[in-house]
Every structure is written in C-alpha cells, then in structure tokens.
Amino acid sequence: MLVVMHHTATDDDVRAVIETIEGMGYEARPIPGKQRTAVGLIGNDGKVDSGRLESLAGVLQVIHVSQPYKQVSREWKSEPTVIELANGTRIGDREVVLMAGPCSVESEAQILDIAHRLKAAGATVLRGGAFKPRTSPYAFQGLGVEGLKLLAKAREETGLAIVTEALETETLDVVAEYADIIQIGARNMQNFPLLRRAGKTGKPVLIKRGLAATIKELLLSAEYVLAEGNPNVILCERGVRGFDDQTRNLLDLTAIPVVQSLSHLPIIADPSHGTGVRSKVIPMARAAVAAGADGLIVEVHPNPDRALSDGAQSLWPDQFEEMVHQIGAIADAIGRAAAAPLVTR
C-alpha cells in the first residue's frame, strides 16, 4: 500500500502518516519524489483499513498494491481448478461444457421434452429455474420445490446434471439437495449470507456476475465461497449494464481472459441474458468460446413463443443443435473441443 502525499504536505504531515502506519503494526517506508513524497506500507496482510490513512492531513491518495482476494487468485494457486460432476462433466478442463435449458421449469412435459433433446444435441448439464427472481412482483415466480423435483426427474431420465438458482438462505438447502450446481444469480452476486450458505454445502456453486460488478468484486464474491472451505466455484459472465437499448445487457467477453489471468477458477458465458435477443445468442456463443470460455449456459425452450419467461431470448431446439455444431468447430480451431455428449443409458 502506498500513501501518496500532497505536494504541499509538511514534514509533520509525513511524520503523522508514518506514525499511524507504525501504530497499526506495519512498517512505514518514506519514498521522496521529485514532485511529492509517498510512504510505503510494508507488511500489509490484507486487513489494513485505508480509510484511516486517507483522512490524515496532507494525504492525496492511498494506492492499493496487493489484491484483497487471496484463495481465488492465480497467484495463490497457479493450476486451473477443474470441477467434476457426478455424470462425468468436467468444468475448467480442455472440453467446453454446454449447459442449456429453459428459463423456468414450467411442467413435467416441458422439462422432460427439452432435456431429451438437449442431451441428444450434446449438452451435459440442464438449466431450469424453479425459484425465479422477477423484477415485477406480478410476474411468474417459478414452481418452487415442485420445479426442483421435475428437474431431478429429468436428470434421472437423461443423466444430465442439474444447475438451478437459489434465491435465499432459507431455501438454499433444499436447492442443494436436488441440484448438482447451485446457481447464485446476478442480482444476488453480493448477497453475502447466501454465498456463505452455498459455500457451506460443499457443492459446486455457479456465480453470475452482477450487472455493475467489477471483476475484482466478482472474485471477492467467489472468495466468500472459498472462505467456507468450498473450492468448487464456477464464474459466469452474463452481461453488464450498458447504455444502448439494442441489447438487454452488454456482454463483456474480455472478462473471460481477464478472469483467467487473475484466477484459477473456471469461467463460462451466458449469451442469452448477455444479449437478451435470440438472433444474437449464437454469434455471441461462438465469440465466447473463441475468447476462451470454459463453457456456455444457454436458454433453450421447446417453444419459445409459449415460454412463461424470457421467450424472446430463448433458442429453438434446432437452433441449439446448430449452435453446438458451430461451437464444436470453433473449439477445435483453438485447440479445445466440445464436451463429449453423454452416453445414452
């Protein structure tokens, strides 16, 4: 940590900074410059509250050199984390994993129908919302536990693993009971009690980046899960808030290589929420894989025109098949591969 002094700071100001640092139990190292003096804080263990320093007389700014996250950092663990699910799907390895399914579980017929088609097309993980976070209190809120049971039935019939969202600590444990991967949605990325509870389950946790979250904040949310002793975190880029209403969100694909340089955790992309427009999903799915994503999570509905939510951004099943085909070719082009389809049992 570096405390930069104002160029008019007096020797007394500098001395007060040094004494404050030493009083906090760290070493202070003055660095005189041509235009101003700075004071280095040596021995920072990540617990320094810079507020105390920023408010001292003559201080211009406090610059953080170390990162506040630890366990998620690639400096902490250089080899990539690979998460293996019960059905053999490996996330974070060479293969690009395909997660797909409807926005919401709507009925047994709907979820079983789409699960079979997705499996045939090459997906290995089934997505589907049972508890739905909806901007309006008057919109369809999901089938709840009944939805979880239908997902489990789809898993039983197809072998697909299940990823589904938990909305609150009170129902997280029941979600964990049914899901192979617990999803923390973008709106809850900084719902810290929820992250802790998800961490405690030990199950894989998929954290979606919040609409206004920096990558550092995303990593710190993952750190909450790891701090509970659960190393199985998958990150997901799904678009940040943009200023152009041509798309629902602004898909920040550069986040993929940025996360990969800062962290050992796998990162996937959600081109459905990232664009919000069906005709843009396949191009951006291709782009995400080309950028190095470890997987995709995509909304597919047996009949998007009839979907109870997110119909406008859901692919038709045959579009998904076409997408898988294109994704496979791109994965090959960059030395990876689409994950092998599940063997029919």
User: In the complex with a copy of itself, which residue's Cβ is closer, 179 or 293?
Assistant: 293
Give yes or no for residue 56 binding a copy of itself (CB under 8 A).
Answer: yes
List, in order, residues 6 or more apart from 163 with CB less than 8 Å away. 99, 125, 126, 127, 179, 180, 181, 182, 183, 206, 297
Q: Residue type at 269?
A: A
Stated as kind and residue range, the H or E segment containing 268 is strand 267-269
| Binding span for a copy of itself by CB under 8 A among 82-90, 117-125, 176-184, 257-265 | 257-265
What is the identity of the amino acid at 26? Y
Letters for 290-319 (x = contact with a copy of itself by CB under 8 A, - = none) are xxx-----------xxxxxxxxxxx-----
Secondary element (H or E) of residue 101? strand 95-101
Looking at residue 311, the DSSP 8-state letter turns out to be: G
CA gap 191, 240 in Å, rounded = 18
Region of 68-76, 109-117, 176-184, 229-237 interacting with a copy of itself (CB under 8 A): 68-76
Residue 87 within binding range of a copy of itself, rule CB under 8 A? no
Count of residues binding a copy of itself (CB under 8 A)?
114
Taking the least distance from each CB to a copy of itself, the nearer of 42 and 340 is 42
Instruction: Return the SS3 of 21.
Output: helix
Q: Which of 75, 108, 146, 177 binds a copy of itself (CB under 8 A)?
A: 75
Interacting residue with a copy of itself among 28, 96, 111, 289 (CB under 8 A): 289
| Nearest C-alpha neighbor of 260 from the set 289, 285, 293 | 293
For the segment 91-150, give every residue that binds a copy of itself (CB under 8 A): 133-139
d(CA 17, CA 222): 34
- Smaller CB distance to a copy of itself: residue 93 or 173? 173
* Position 284 contacts a copy of itself (CB under 8 A): yes
Q: Which of 28, 207, 256, 296 binds a copy of itself (CB under 8 A)?
A: 256
Q: At a CB cut-off of 8 Å and minimum separation 6, what does 84 contact?
A: 90, 91
Contact flags string 171-210 toward a copy of itself, x per CB under 8 A: ----------------xx-xxxxx-x-------------x
